[in-house]
Chain A
Amino acid sequence: MIEVLAPLPVLLPLLGAAGALLVSGHPSFQRALSTTVLSAVLAVSVVLLFVADAEGASSVSVGGWAVPLGIVLVVDRLSALMLVVASTVALGVLVFAVGQGAADGSEETPLSIFHPTFLVLVAGVSNAFLAGDLFNLYVGFEILLMASYVLLTLGGTAARIRGGITYVIVSLTSSLVFLAAIGLVYAATGTVNMAQLAVRLGELPAGTQVLLQSMLLIAFGIKAAVFPLSAWLPDSYPTAPAPVTAVFAGLLTKVGVYAIIRTQTLLFPGGALDDVLLWGALATMLIGILGAVAQSDLRRMLSFTLVSHIGYMVFGIALGTAAGLAGAVFYVAHHIAIQTTLFLVAGLVERQGGTTSIDKLGGLARRSPLLAVLFFVPAMNLAGIPPLSGFIGKLGLLQAGVAEGSAVALTLVAGGIVTSLLTLLAVARIWTRAFWRSPNQSPAEETAAAAAAASVQRHRPASADGAGSPDGTASPDGPARTALQDAWRRHTAVATAAEPELPPAAGAVRAPRPLPRTMVGATAALVALTVALTGLAGPLYGLADRASVDLLERTPYISSVFGEGEVP
């Protein structure tokens, strides 16, 4: 049965994408098609998870080629779990996007392009999770990256192109590093099959191993946004349409984390670079969350918390113990759901309040109590308030860190607690300002003035040097203010250079739009899922435990590909 089912999470979305392109003239048909396809993928993934949990890992040789030559898809507990969580949030996001498209028309999110591209993205994610072959993993990454380039620049507005270019170039670089690493791995071992590599890489000299491992980790670290390779993320994610940001935040970085888990457990079990990863995890957590606290835009704040919480997963992986890995696997599942949900809520906040800048939002709790609940529950979950799943995941990781007991691990435990508290601070700021503050407390006149000034500036030709003085039109308050501003601008010359090109999203506040039921429904369903993760934490954590034992043993994966016999 697994031979038939395993390729389906890749095949179905690809065929669905082709179908969605063919019927792009009929939006309702397209919606039905892509929803059906993703539901089917979810169903298949759930079956795969049950089979994998009951019978252990199994593999399929695609195209009938014998094992070391052909491409293998491997379904073990980890990949099946990732598939289930990924297809669930993908389905939720798709429904949200359909609701948004139905309400707004196709101006901002051209759905005829969105549907096929989104399905291709899901195919790429599934392929990366199932790949039993380093090169197939690369292809999976490329499929999802190509789709993500298109999704990120959907509509081609100036802000999206600017953010998209950063994203594309950084992703390209990471892909090239990955490809070069594959070339070197092949030169050293003569294979790209991961099960075979698991045996052959261990026979290499230690220096070669560290070189290959660090190249792979750099490539995956860029994708997973591990500090210091994370600076691209908060720059490029917030400009995209809400559903796109949501699915990127949930899935794309986690594919990188998944690849890091495979590298660290299956390919290089020696733990040679664990210390580097531990310090990287600490820096990711702390620097990410300090960035989040500084932000005054909801989506950017969420992007920074996304980076920060990647640190928790890397922490669990770098511990290298079964408890640490189990915590990391649980945290990945939890974080995919929670981060996607929060970005969808940010999309709803933008509709209801007209902006995502918390300086301009206010009184949302009174205007839309439902939205307040939808934000509050996942926000508390993200911060790790008991008894929600974020608390359970963090507790598991911290316990694993204490059990490991080394000085570095204990430092990370402390860093993890600080990060959790700062996350609470960051979301509480959003809550008090955007939701609790009464609307008249928000500086409305200022906002209007700023919007006007921004629109004036936008009509001026963009000047690249900081010496240009946009103050002439922008400051009606007289020469004193201009003098002060000039002084300040000299102080922050870079900021001044950017000033005349204010993106519309930053300055302008749109008129609030109603919240369509489909969008609220999809978000509510995902919020319910995050709460359900709390209820299901026992079984889920058990599964994560078994998955991590498999990962550390390595034999289930290898023997699923080569059978019980000798690995060639």
Chain B
Amino acid sequence: MTPTIVFPLMVGGLYAAGVYLLLDRSLTRVLLGFLLLGNATNLLVLSAGGPAGLAPILGYSDPQAFTDPLPQALILTAIVITFGVAAFLLAMIHRSWRLARNEAVGTDEEDRRVAARRAPDADELDPDELAPDDRIAGHADSLPADLEELADDVDLPTGSGTR
């Protein structure tokens, strides 16, 4: 039995295309990427069974000439799982489209909010009780100089994550 180059090429190509699609922000492409990756993995498991042989049916062929049936059983299970998950993902994409008219991966707003918080958390400080000069200007160094003065004058609510 000569080693075949077809399997590695197919598996590698499918993985490359699948990863490329998976990295997209559009969910439909992510789904397609997942399907490609699933198939690539199934082929990988199939090739793990060694060279191809006769159908593994007792009485039909010589057991010595069988293809290894175990990877096929594993793939069958994996196909069913992939199918179920793909159906669920499709339903989620549809739901996302119905809710937001958008099928891209969403942003984690709370995370952005935390990242964008202007002031350090002044747990113990109630800004309203402080003299205006002592109030936290918050990230003043990231703002232009005139706006920095503005921050003191305008009396923004500090210490809270909300705007």
Do residues B163 and A484 form an inter-chain contact, with CB atoms below 8 A? Answer: no
Q: From B120, which residue of chain A is reached at the shortest CB distance? A: A294
Interface size class of A (residues with CB under 8 A): 35 or more
Note all chain B residues with C-beta closer than 8 A to A501.
100, 106-107, 109
Contact between chains at B45 and A179 (CB < 8 Å): yes
Contact between B37 and A488, CB atoms less than 8 A apart: no
Chain B residue at smallest Cβ distance from A442 = B160
How many contacts A-B (CB < 8 Å)?
A: 176
Residue with the greatest number of chain B CB neighbours at <10 A, chosen from A156, A180, A234, A432: A180
Query: In the complex, what residues of A have CB within 8 A of residue B147's CB?
Result: 483-484, 487
The yes or no answer to A274 lying at the interface (CB within 8 A) is: no
Report the bound CA distance from A162 to B106 in whole Å: 6
CB-CB under 8 A from B16, the residues of chain A are none
A262 contacts partner chain B, Cβ-Cβ < 8 Å: no
B153 interfacial by beta-carbon distance below 8 Å: yes
Partner of A432, one of B78, B105, B123: B123
Interface of B is mostly: helix
B78 A179 Cβ-Cβ under 8 A: yes
Chain B 131-163, CB-CB to A under 8 Å as 1, else 0, gives 000000001001110010011011011011111
Main secondary structure of the interface of A (DSSP, over half): helix
Name the B residues within 8 Å of A483 (CB-CB).
147, 150
Known: A158-B100, A165-B92, A296-B114. A172 touches B85 (CB 8 A): yes
Q: Is A562 an interface residue (CB 8 A)?
A: no
| Cα separation A487 to B37 with both chains bound (whole Å) | 44
Q: How far is the CA of A296 from the CA of B121 in the complex (A)?
A: 9
Judge whether B96 is part of the interface by a CB distance below 8 angstroms. yes
Please judge, given known A-B contacts A179-B41, A481-B154, A498-B109, whether A433 and B100 are in contact too, CB under 8 Å: no
Q: Contacts A164-B92, A446-B162, A487-B143 hold; do A480 and B150 have CB atoms under 8 A apart?
A: yes
Does B45 contact A142, Cβ atoms closer than 8 Å?
no
Residues 477-500 of A, flagged 1 when their CB comes within 8 A of B and 0 if not, give 100110111011001101101110
Closest CB-CB distance, A530 to chain B, in whole Å? Answer: 26
Q: Contact: B99 with A495, CB < 8 Å?
A: no
Q: How far is the CA of A162 from the CA of B49 in the complex (A)?
A: 39
| Bound-state Cα–Cα, A182 to B46, Å | 11
CB-contacts of B33-68 with A (<8 A): 34, 37-38, 41, 44-45, 47-50
Inter-chain contacts of A453 with B (CB < 8 A)? 163
A161 within 8 A of B: yes
In the complex, what's the smallest C-beta–C-beta distance from A518 to chain B, in angstroms?
A: 30
- CB neighbours (8 Å) of B95 from chain A are 153, 156, 161
Which of B85, B111, B163: most chain A Cβ within 10 A? B163
Distance of A294 Cα from B110 Cα, bound (Å)? 11
Chain B proximity mask over A143-165: 1 for CB below 8 Å, otherwise 0: 00010011001001110011111
Q: In the complex, which residues of chain B have a beta carbon less than 8 angstroms from the beta carbon of A441?
A: 126
Contact call A135/B162, Cβ cutoff below 8 A: no
Q: Report yes or no: B116 in contact with A495, Cβ–Cβ below 8 A.
A: yes
Closest chain A residue to B96, Cβ basis: A161
With CB as the reference atom, state the residue of chain A lying closest to B107.
Answer: A498
A441 to chain B, nearest CB (A): 7
Answer yes or no: A407 CB below 8 A from chain B CBs: no
Our pick among A172, A492, A497, A506 for the contact of B34 (Cβ within 8 Å) is: A172
Q: Is the CB of A161 within 8 A of B153?
A: no
Q: B101: which A residues are within 8 A, CB to CB? A: 462
Instruction: Enumerate chain B residues within 8 angstroms of A296, measured Cβ to Cβ.
Output: 114, 117, 121, 161
In the complex, the chain A residue whose C-beta lies closest to that of B109 is: A498
Known: A238-B110, A429-B123, A483-B147. A183 touches B156 (CB 8 A): no
Structural contact, A176 and B92, CB atoms closer than 8 A = no
The interface residues of chain A lying within 8 Å CB-to-CB of B27 are: 165
A28 within 8 A of B: no
The residue in chain A whose Cβ has the minimal distance to the Cβ of B85 is A172
Are the C-beta atoms of B123 and A502 separated by less than 8 Å? no
Contact across chains for B45 and A182 when beta carbons are under 8 A apart: yes
A498 touches B126 (CB 8 A): no
Query: Which residues on A sit within 8 Å (CB–CB) of B96?
Result: 161-162, 165
Question: In the complex, what distance in Å separates the CA atom of A303 from the CA atom of B147?
Answer: 36
Partner of B41, one of A162, A183, A446: A183
Tell yes or no: A297 within 8 A of B by CB: yes
Which B residues touch A368, using CB under 8 A?
none
B-chain residues with CB within 8 Å of residue A300 when the two chains form the complex:
110, 114
A476 at the B interface (CB under 8 A) = no
Task: Show 6 residue pairs from A and B whose CB-CB distance is below 8 angstroms, ordered by the A residue.
Answer: A165-B105, A175-B81, A359-B160, A492-B115, A498-B109, A501-B100
Known: A150-B88, A161-B106. 12 other contacts (CB 8 A): A139-B77, A158-B100, A165-B106, A166-B108, A173-B37, A186-B45, A192-B70, A296-B117, A296-B121, A357-B161, A480-B153, A501-B100
